[in-house]
Amino acid sequence: MNCAEFQEVLPDIIESGGNPEEEAHLKSCAVCSDLVQDLRYIADTAKLLLPMRDPSPRVWTGIRGALQREGLVRPLAGTVRFRPQAAAVLSQRRWVRGGSMLAVAALLLFAIGIIWLRNNSTRQPQPAVTARVPAAAPAAAADDDDAQMLNFVQHKSPALLATYRENLESVNAYIRDARRRIEQDPNDMGAHDHLIRAYDEKALLYEMAMARSGE
Amino acid sequence: MGRMSNGVKCSLVAVGLLAVAAFAADNRKEFRYTVAPGASVTVTNESGPVEIKGSAGRQVVIIATTHSDKVEVDCDQNRNRIHATTHFLQRTDGPDSRVDYQVLVPSDASVTVRAPSGPITAEKMRGDLTLEGDAAQVDVHDVSNAHVHVRTISGPISLGNIANGHVEITSLNGDVRLDAVSGPRVSVNTVKGSIRYNGDFGEGGEYLLVNHSGNIDVTLPASASVDLSARSITGSVENDFPLQQKQHPAFAITQGRSFAGTSNSGASSVQLRSLSGKIRVKKR
């Protein structure tokens, strides 16, 4: 089994563990092993959020740290940057759990997508891998999360729904264009950079949505 | 005639009562705090403008005007931190939810503003600024030696006369305009928003202007000392600024899609990147 084949079944491995062949690849490949370790860490950390009314800053710091260690996000600018203000604002509101879950889902999605992308871009000598970008499963998850985010905005600030919808379409178009370019030329590092920035922009949109406190 | 006069009188009285009621609803409150150097001030306002002005002295003055009894303003001081927050007493939106903030702070204070609808303005500051707004128009000018972080969804962002700044701007669809903005690090990221830079890029900074599909327009004087590269992956580039071609650019130069070169001593690094937008560099 090579890295490309392994990555195709990665979501299943994260969820339910791999078969002997996949486990063997995991043991022999440091890159895939690191990737799985990171994703499991993020998933485990995310679970901690569910029973809490007010997630500990440690959780956000942990997730952020994992992404930063991977070089997937840039350092924070000020204290409001990463820990969604929603966690503070919403902590006294009855549906904080839904907001936290949505934030976690979004973070997981971005982490998986970006880590996947980064993993692909670091293995450019393997054409079969470099040409591959996050595909069906993450895309479906993205659609679902997008819908949840828009529902969240609609609930909190109906007047801003159109703005968020429009901007979501814009940033998804950015992601699509960057992906398309990478498929055309996997060695175009500028396109890879655009894709990462596009995900950053999408993360910003989710963060801002979470920070809605119009109730 | 007499009846008409009475009618007019009645109308005037009614208008007067409405005016009084409106005036009464406009509730202006002023909060004053004394702070030490390096204070931090945070303003969270769900609806309405926030104006920040730096001043001499050590006082923070917050003037908040509400327009209904459905909202109130909570201000508190915790040592060297000041928080001002709009608090909703009833669920409301529209004009009733609006609060206008005017905030005077020591110019060295760090200020954080979250005002989704804005507008947000900040001027005459030397402390760090973190400004966030969804659709808020953000205007920052006359700031020096500060970190300036601005994030919007669709709100346009304008920065003017920023010296020695660490500037980080992120917007999705907001247009970004920078006039005379210089510093060790200036970065702008947008999706569809256009980016305009007018200035000389200072002496020795790192500038990165990136978008997806908007235009990037840069106008700089002949005296600018830059190491400039521009690339639009599927869009186009135009340049009428005299540059010396680099021997080893960071990417392959493609006619009409990218260029790179230096002027004078190439003191500042300037990277212009777009995925499908148009990049134009002009001499002032």
Question: In chain A, what are the domain boundaries?
Answer: 3-210
The two tokens of residue B113 are 């503003």
Query: Is B78 part of any domain?
Result: no
Average pLDDT over residues B42-54: 95
Provide Rg for chain B, Cα atoms. Answer: 24
Query: Is B141 part of any domain?
Result: no
Confidence label for A83 from pLDDT (cuts 50, 70 and 90): very low
Average pLDDT over residues B152-176: 95
**Neighbour count for residue B8 (Cβ, 10 Å):** 10
Range of the domain at B178: 156-284
Helices (H), chain B: 2-25
Residue B191: list chain A partners with CB under 8 A. 167, 170-171, 174, 198, 201
Query: Is B116 part of any domain?
Result: no
Residue A58 reports pLDDT greater than 60: no
Nearest chain B residue to A185 by CA: give it.
B233
Answer whether B276 touches A (CB < 8 Å).
yes
Query: Is B250 part of any domain?
Result: yes
Look up residue A64 and give its DSSP letter: H
Residue A135 reports pLDDT greater than 60: no
Q: Are B65 and B51 in contact (CB under 8 A)?
A: no
Give CA separation, A135 vs A146, B57, B119, B130, in Å: 16, 57, 39, 36
Partner-chain contact B93 A214, CB within 8 Å: yes
Which of A12-16, A115-119, B197-201 is least confident? A115-119
Residue B156 reports pLDDT greater than 60: yes
Partner-chain contact A174 B212, CB within 8 Å: yes
Share of chain A above pLDDT 70, in %: 50
Average pLDDT over residues A73-78: 50
What pLDDT is attached to residue A214? 45
Query: Is B187 part of any domain?
Result: yes
Partner-chain contact B135 A193, CB within 8 Å: no
Residue among A194, A205, A206, A207 with most chain B CBs within 10 A, to mutate? A194
Residue among A167, A175, A202 with most chain B CBs within 10 A, to mutate? A167
List the one residue out of B32, B27, B106 whose CA is nearest residue B62. B32
Which of A63-72, B51-60, B113-122 is least confident? A63-72
- Which range has highest mean pLDDT (A43-47, A75-79, B56-60)? B56-60
Number of domains in chain B: 1
Residue A50 reports pLDDT greater than 90: no
ipTM exceeds 0.85: no
What pLDDT is attached to residue A32? 75
Q: Which residue has the higher pLDDT, A119 or A212?
A: A212
Query: Is B284 part of any domain?
Result: yes
Q: Which residue has the higher pLDDT, B148 or B10?
A: B148
